[in-house]
Structure 1
Amino acid sequence: MSGSADAKFSGAVIMAAEPQLFVAGIKASCDFFVKTLGFTTVFTYGEPPFYAQVARDGARLNLRCVEQSVIDPVLRDREELLSASLTVASAEEIELLFLEFQAAGATFFQTLKREPWGASDFIIRDPDGNLLLFAGPAE
């Protein structure tokens, strides 16, 4: 298959994306996603574990243990470099999710905000500094 814009596609549908987050420790990261954000651990791999997957509803995040940060934390924060974007279907759901995470003690990089392009969103910082955007429609 060529890389041209005129290429014919098979009609295959991509059903999901699974962003990979780089973390310092699999257990601590899984604990955060489960206890604070309401995910479940799908699997851990390795002895000791160096890879895992967590899921909530249709979202799946892969966690990869690394010895040191792969991105400069100052650059990440200044440029708001997101590690993942997760979406909900309604304005009510994004508000409920924000309140749920707030009650669970999540660390917010940005609290719930209405954006000029018609979305409402907020950003959570995980224990490793990864920025996770949660978004939904503003109305």
Structure 2
Amino acid sequence: MRIALLTPVIVTPAMAAARDFYVRHLGFRTVFENDWYVHLHGGGEPRTVELGFMLPGLAEQHPAYRAATDGAGLIFNLDVEDAAAEFARLQAAGLGFIETLRDEPWGERHFTLHDPAGIVVNITQKIEMRADFAAQALDPAVTAPKQLDA
């Protein structure tokens, strides 16, 4: 199977607040919206990042889609060019953080915060891995920082 796009859909009563968070703070744009579902596009072209939010308890939906998540156990990693600049921007916007900006030996400069649905959002920048982590990489492409396409 060749997967063209992965689009997580989060079932949450905080659908509107989640939409506003991703649009206002993380650069997503709304591409579809009705009273029970909103679909966001967060990347350039071709489409690489999409995200949906849906209200819980909808009788029209299959029961598997009705329960709301509290976000526990789910992390969205968003790779950026400059994590320090994004941290400063979001800090100036008054957002709270789970973890403030830090460098990790596995090749990540990052900080984390919760979105309104309770999802952990990890804003990351790839940096050089410490040698012991780089030695564990099965794909050499993951050991070096990469430039994001504009």
Q: TM-score, normalised by structure 2?
A: 0.63
Change (3 A) 1:101 1:52: same
2:12 touches 2:69 (CA, 8 Å); kept in 1?
no
1:105 shift after superposition: 2.2
Q: Name stretches of at least 5 consecutive residues in structure 2 with no aligned partner.
A: 58-66, 129-150
Q: Which residue of 2 aligns with 1:3?
A: none
1:124 touches 1:132 (CA, 8 Å); kept in 2?
yes
1:22 touches 1:64 (CA, 8 Å); kept in 2?
yes
Q: Which residue of 2 aligns with 1:55?
A: 41
Q: Which residue of 1 aligns with 2:19?
A: 30
1:37 touches 1:104 (CA, 8 Å); kept in 2?
no
Identity across the alignment (%): 30
Which of 120, 134, 137 pairs up with 1:131?
120
Count the aligned residue pairs.
115
Q: TM-score, normalised by structure 1?
A: 0.67
More displaced stretch, 125-134 vs 54-63? 54-63
C-alpha distance in 2 between matches for 1:101 and 1:39: 15
Q: Name stretches of at least 5 consecutive residues in structure 1 with no aligned partner.
A: 1-8
1:29 shift after superposition: 2.0
| Structure with greater strand share of residues | 1
Q: What SS does the aligned partner of 1:36 have? A: helix
2:108 touches 2:126 (CA, 8 Å); kept in 1?
yes
1:36 touches 1:101 (CA, 8 Å); kept in 2?
yes
Does residue 1:87 correspond to 2:73, yes or no?
A: no
Change (3 A) 1:16 1:102: farther
Does residue 1:70 correspond to 2:69, yes or no?
A: yes
Change (3 A) 1:94 1:17: farther
Change (3 A) 1:103 1:123: same
Q: What SS does the aligned partner of 1:102 have? A: helix
C-alpha distance in 2 between matches for 1:40 and 1:99: 22
Which of 102, 119, 137 pairs up with 2:91?
102
Q: What SS does the aligned partner of 1:85 have? A: strand
Change (3 A) 1:16 1:32: same
Q: What SS does the aligned partner of 1:43 have? A: strand
